[in-house]
A = this chain, B = another copy of it.
Amino acid sequence: MSASIKGKVLLAYSGGLDTSCILAWLLEEGYEVLAYMADVGQEEDFVEAKQKALKIGASKVFIEDLRREFVEELIYPAVQTNAIYEGVYLLGTSLARPVIGRRQIQLAQQEGCTHVSHGCTGKGNDQVRFELAYYALEPKIQVIAPWRVPEFFNRFQGRNDLLAYAAEKGIPVVQTLAKPWSTDENLFHISYEAGILEDPNVTPPKDMWKLTVDPEEAPNTPERIHITFAEGRPVKVVNQNDGTKVTDPLDLFIYLNTLARRNGVGRIDIVENRFIGIKSRGCYETPGGTILRVAHMDLEGLVLDREVRLYRDEHVTPAFSRLLYNGLYFSPEGAFITSTIAASQKNVNGVVRLKLYKGMVIVEGRFSETEKLYDMEESSMDVHGGFSPQDSEGFIKIQSIRLKKWGGKF
């Protein structure tokens, strides 16, 4: 069989035009191709996509539900560390890559594939994220990245070339008008980039935003919720308006998405720096994740020791965020830094009360029944609790020794 000549390839398949053509092309090149679809919460007709892959010639098709491990292993640690890239981006695409890449390698090993393949372009972050994960988890794997292979990218220079090839190969193409931008969707977020968005001064059209309602069209009545955290992970959400209560980790996150989506929470529009050094404009919707970020940071104010927070903020958070963005979750430093998160969150236990209103996530209060770092009497300006005012005098005097030596040089 021709497939065996060059080996078996496990292709990360989306059901779209690009990866369908890649599938056909890999077959044409003499590979046996197995298709793999990761369900990380994106809106997708997996059944139809599976049939399409089989029709094109995939010898097997895997549809893997990775939503729970995505939430538990990636999203919640990101919440625990308040992970953020360049001050604004909640890392939605980056966070899904490790679970997708890991399962792809597991399946490749299970099926005896010598190669893996993906449909990422040669200019983006995702090629780096997938391939560094592949190599870290299986150093012997061989990667086929068609959009970096001259035979492929010279042949398919635009959408029309792909459409012609699809017609030639009998690949069914959905007759929708292509959107003038690209998207990447998962349970945590959706991204929009390229096309008309490449001009960073073009305001995204109203109909681009898919996950969240426009804040201007969100309900006029706020919605109030309580989120309970245990060791920095959300363990309960209660809707104060209707009494809904959710505790399962995956269900809880999906429910927060629902709440955020209908209240217009989580849109951003930025210019960011890709790992490869190019600036890139992206728009993102991160509904539930935005609520959790506000709530978790607020609770840490109440229950986390100042110096633990400072060390985490200045060292763990930037390092963890950057390694996610750059595709280095599976790496020696990734393993090391990830291993330190739990110890920083032991005391992050309590409840945050939030109001959702037209895009805003407003903290209305917080409490903890177990953590007692906050001491009402001690912090009171009116009560002489905890320590004597003269202690402050000594504290200031000692601090000033160094300054007095320097005095007057400003």
Residue A169 interfacial (CB < 8 Å): no
For chain A, the count of residues having a C-beta within 8 Å of the partner chain is 127
Interface string of A368-410 (1 = CB under 8 A from B): 0000111110111110101111111111111111111111111
List chain B residues, Cβ under 8 A from A258.
none
Q: Which residues 198-253 in A have Cβ within 8 Å of B in the complex?
A: 198-203, 215-216, 220, 222
Number of copies: 4
A399: which of B128, B147, B406 is its contact (CB, 8 Å)? Answer: B128
Residue A183 interfacial (CB < 8 Å): no
Contact call B396/A131, Cβ cutoff below 8 A: yes
Residue A111 interfacial (CB < 8 Å): no
Distance between Cα atoms of A307 and B406 in the complex (Å): 12
Contact call B398/A277, Cβ cutoff below 8 A: yes
Contact call A121/B305, Cβ cutoff below 8 A: no
* A102 → B minimal CB distance (Å): 8
Contact call A215/B132, Cβ cutoff below 8 A: no
* A163 → B minimal CB distance (Å): 15
List chain B residues, Cβ under 8 A from A199.
376
Residue A161 interfacial (CB < 8 Å): no
Distance between Cα atoms of A127 and B215 in the complex (Å): 42
15 contacts between A and B (CB under 8 A): A82-B87, A139-B408, A194-B382, A198-B379, A200-B365, A269-B365, A270-B298, A307-B328, A311-B319, A330-B410, A357-B359, A359-B360, A373-B406, A390-B390, A391-B394
New A-B contacts (19) at CB < 8 Å, excluding given A153-B384, A203-B365: A123-B379, A123-B381, A138-B407, A145-B393, A198-B376, A198-B380, A215-B358, A216-B357, A270-B363, A277-B402, A278-B375, A278-B378, A305-B332, A305-B402, A311-B319, A336-B340, A340-B340, A394-B395, A394-B397
